[in-house]
Amino acid sequence: MALKFQKKAWCLEQAHGQGIPDPLVISCGIKANVSFSVARFVEGSRPISADDDRLKVWEKLGSYANILNHLPVSGFGSERSEPGHFSKVSWREVIDPEIQIVLRDNLWQRHGILSDQQIEILQVRFEACAAVNGRPGICQWDICCENALIRN
C-alpha cells in the first residue's frame, strides 16, 4: 500500500511540474501498519453556479488530462517500481484480477443480482475493456475517502 502512495506522490509532483494545480505531497509512508499520505491543502474556487459556463470547466479539466496523458511513463497499475515505471507491464495484468473478483464463485447469480444472460453480457464487455490497447499514462480515476483533504 505504501508503494501506491509513493506512485500518487510522484504523479502529483509531475502534474505540479506541468502547472496543474494539485496538492503537493509532504510525506507518505507506513505508521502502525497503516499506509498514509499527507499533502498540502489546495484552496478550490467557488462552486459552479447555474450562470457559469460548465463547458469551460470541462475544457480546463480536459486540458489537464491531455498534459498528464503525455507525460512519459511505462507500465500500468497502482504501484511504482521506480520513478516513471509502474508495477504492471500490461493493461491486461491490471484488469484481469478485477474481472476475476467480479465474476468469482457465481456470486452475482447466487444472490439474484444478475441473471446468467446479464453475466454473459458483462463478460463480453469486460473482455472488450481488457482488449483496449493504449499507452500508459498518469490518471487519478478514483474518488473515495482515501482522497479526502481536510483544511487545517
Amino acid 149: pLDDT: 53
3-state secondary structure of 74: strand
79 compared with 20, residue with greater pLDDT? 20
Lowest-confidence pick of 12-16, 17-21, 40-44, 129-133: 40-44
In the chain, alpha helices (H): 2-17, 54-69, 91-103, 107-110, 116-130
The crossing angle, in degrees rounded to 10, of helices 54-69 and 2-17 is 110
Range 126-131 average pLDDT: 84
CA distances 108 to 64, 100, 103, 122, Å, are 38, 12, 8, 11
Q: How far apart are CA 76 and CA 91, in angstroms?
A: 6
In the structure grid, which three cell numbers stand for residue 65, read together? 488530462
Tell whether pTM > 0.75. Answer: no
In the structure grid, which three cell numbers stand for residue 67, read together? 498534459
Amino acid 14: pLDDT: 86
What is the overall mean pLDDT for the chain?
A: 77
pLDDT surpassing 70 at residue 84: yes
148 compared with 9, residue with greater pLDDT? 9
Q: How far apart are CA 78 and CA 20, in angstroms?
A: 21
pLDDT surpassing 70 at residue 96: yes
Q: Please give the DSSP secondary-structure letter assigned to residue 71.
A: S
pLDDT bucket at 132, cuts 50 / 70 / 90 = confident
pLDDT surpassing 70 at residue 18: yes
Report domain extents, the chain: 1-42, 88-141
pLDDT bucket at 47, cuts 50 / 70 / 90 = low
- Tracing cell 506522490 back to the chain, one arrives at 9
pLDDT surpassing 60 at residue 22: yes
The crossing angle, in degrees rounded to 10, of helices 91-103 and 116-130 is 170
3 compared with 53, residue with greater pLDDT? 53
Angle at 128 between CA 125 and CA 132, to 5 degrees: 145
